[in-house]
Structure 1
Amino acid sequence: MAKLSLADLQTAVTAAREALAKEPENAALKAELEKAVAALAKEEEALAKAKDAGKIEVRVLVDHGGHAADSVTSLTADEAKAAVKAGWADDDKAAVAFAKKEAAAQAKA
Structure 2
Amino acid sequence: MRKILLFINLPIIFFTLLYGIFSGNLAKNIYLEQEGYRVISLIYNNFNNVEIIKNFKGFEIEIKFISSNELFKILLKDKGYKHVKSNLFCKNKDAITVSRFNDEILLKFSHNSLLCNN
Normalised TM-score (structure 1): 0.38
**Structure with more strand by fraction:** 2
**Structure with more helix by fraction:** 1
